[in-house]
Amino acid sequence: MEHTAPPEQLLADTCLAFAPVTQQRHRADGWTPETQANFIRALAAMGSVGKASRAVGMGRRSAYRLRDRAGAQSFAAAWDRALSMGRIRQFDYAMDRALNGVTTVRILRGGAIDVTGGPDMDVVRAAIREDAAPLKATKDTV
């Protein structure tokens, strides 16, 4: 069995370093320190709390409850940094697709091939919606 280092050591050399939130109950399917570190990594890659929590097999509401738990200040700070990084990454990706376009290859009936290219505005709209989501959520909760 492979032994992994604690998350604070795994992320110690990055801006995402954090002290994991202590578990109230020890559950194999709960927010273990390894799951917390993987969530922060996924959040930095995806820029979406829902997608990151699904990627680690947890629920979005559960992630927010963990963030709000006493002693989770370090985790919450890493969350904020990772979310910002992920949203910047997704926005850059969307702008690249919008400016440089995408190539779509379709094989039609009879073996004909249709190659089209152009900007992917759906990705741009999705990136803009993701940036607007926290503003709407903050407004609703205040």
Q: Whole-angstrom Cα distance, residue 119 to residue 25?
A: 49
Average pLDDT over every residue of 48-76: 95
User: Domain spans of the chain?
Assistant: 7-141
**Cβ(83)–Cβ(137) below 8 Å:** no
The lowest-confidence range among 13-17, 20-24, 131-135, 138-142 is 138-142
- The SS3 call for residue 107 is strand
- CATH tag, 7-141: 1.10.10.60
Report the helix count and the strand count for the chain, using DSSP H and E.
6, 2
- The SS3 call for residue 30 is coil
58-62 long-range contacts, CB within 8 A, separation 24+: 58/31, 62/31
Structure tokens at 117: 């290219």
How long, in residues, is the chain? 142
Assess whether pLDDT exceeds 80 at residue 89.
Answer: yes
DSSP state of 27: -
**Cβ(49)–Cβ(83) below 8 Å:** yes
Average pLDDT over every residue of 7-36: 81
Q: What is the dihedral of CA 47, 83, 62, 32, to 10 degrees?
A: 100
pLDDT in tens, 23-57: 878 777 889 999 999 999 999 999 999 999 999 99
**Mean pLDDT of the residues in the chain:** 81
